[in-house]
Amino acid sequence: MKTTHLKLVFASLFTLMLISSCKNENKKEAITNAAESSTPSADSHESGQAFINDESSTPNVLQIAIGSPDHTTLVAAVQAASLENVLVNAGPLTVFAPTNAAFDALPAGTVENLLKPENKAALANILKHHVSAGNYTKDFLKNFKKLGQANDQNTSVEVKGDDVFIGGAKIIASIPAGNGIVHVVDKVILPPTE
């Protein structure tokens, strides 16, 4: 009787291990297939965190900009400067996002000139001047006179009543992001010339 009982226990364990092994193989195959489908082709320049689809978590600062019809010029500039992966890192980041109208207010030809491949470094410098390390709400920014930006330069912070201006650009809206906050601004914030 004991021998029969032991044989049943061993047979049950063997069956469970076999089933578990099959499930693990299916999981491995599913993970491999998912990785292959999310990995860009070798001839694509789109690689890194910015190009992973994740529809279940709070949008990051880049996803917020991409989803906004008022920020198509900003998104084009970020792509031209190859800064997509910077804007999706864990952060926290405070991003000052100029609207299309803010870019349109620049002198004629400025945006087109900056989008040229030979001006990638200058464009990246301007865009990094719109990003700060940290998650700074509009009210918290009222405590600053200057704010350090990702291009290693400072920009001014000015408070006029309830309005906050960063480098002369007025914050007109604020959107929390999964990796920080996006402040929509009405002007392009140009770095100081040295």
Q: Give the distance between the most distant pair of CA atoms in the chain.
A: 93
Q: Indicate if 85 and 34 belong to the same structural domain.
A: no
Q: According to the model, what pLDDT value does residue 77 have?
A: 97
Q: Which helix (H) or strand (E) holds 92?
A: none
pLDDT tens track for 10-26: 444 444 444 444 444 44
Kindly tell me if the per-residue pLDDT of 183 is higher than 90.
yes
CATH code of the domain containing 82: 2.30.180.10
Q: Indicate if 107 and 179 belong to the same structural domain.
A: yes
pLDDT tens track for 16-52: 444 444 444 443 343 333 333 333 333 444 544 444 4
Q: Indicate if 73 and 32 belong to the same structural domain.
A: no
Q: Indicate if 117 and 84 belong to the same structural domain.
A: yes
pTM exceeds cut of 0.85: no
Q: What is the mean pLDDT of the segment spanning 133-150?
A: 97
Q: Indicate if 140 and 100 belong to the same structural domain.
A: yes
Q: According to the model, what pLDDT value does residue 20 have?
A: 42
Q: Indicate if 119 and 160 belong to the same structural domain.
A: yes
Q: Which residue has the higher pLDDT, 101 or 10?
A: 101
Question: Cis peptide before 92, with omega less than 30 degrees from 0?
Answer: yes
Residues of the chain with pLDDT > 70, as a percent, come to 70
Q: Indicate if 24 and 101 belong to the same structural domain.
A: no
Average model confidence (pLDDT) across the chain: 80
Q: How confident is the model at residue 152 (pLDDT cuts 50, 70, 90)?
A: very high
Domain count, the chain: 2
Residues of the chain with pLDDT > 90, as a percent, come to 66
Q: Indicate if 88 and 125 belong to the same structural domain.
A: yes
Within a domain: 53: no
In contact, 83 and 170? CB cutoff 8 Å: no
Q: Indicate if 107 and 20 belong to the same structural domain.
A: no
Q: Indicate if 82 and 127 belong to the same structural domain.
A: yes
Within a domain: 130: yes
Q: According to the model, what pLDDT value does residue 55 have?
A: 58
Q: Which range (8-17, 113-122, 125-134) has the least confidence?
A: 8-17
Within a domain: 192: no
Classify strands 180-185 and 93-98 as parallel, antiparallel or unpaired. Answer: parallel
Range of the domain at 162: 59-185
Within a domain: 90: yes
Within a domain: 179: yes
Q: Indicate if 94 and 167 belong to the same structural domain.
A: yes
57 three-class SS: coil
Q: Which residue has the higher pLDDT, 125 or 54?
A: 125
Residue 110 burial by Cβ neighbours in a 10 Å radius (0-12, 13-18, 19+)? middle
Q: Indicate if 113 and 166 belong to the same structural domain.
A: yes
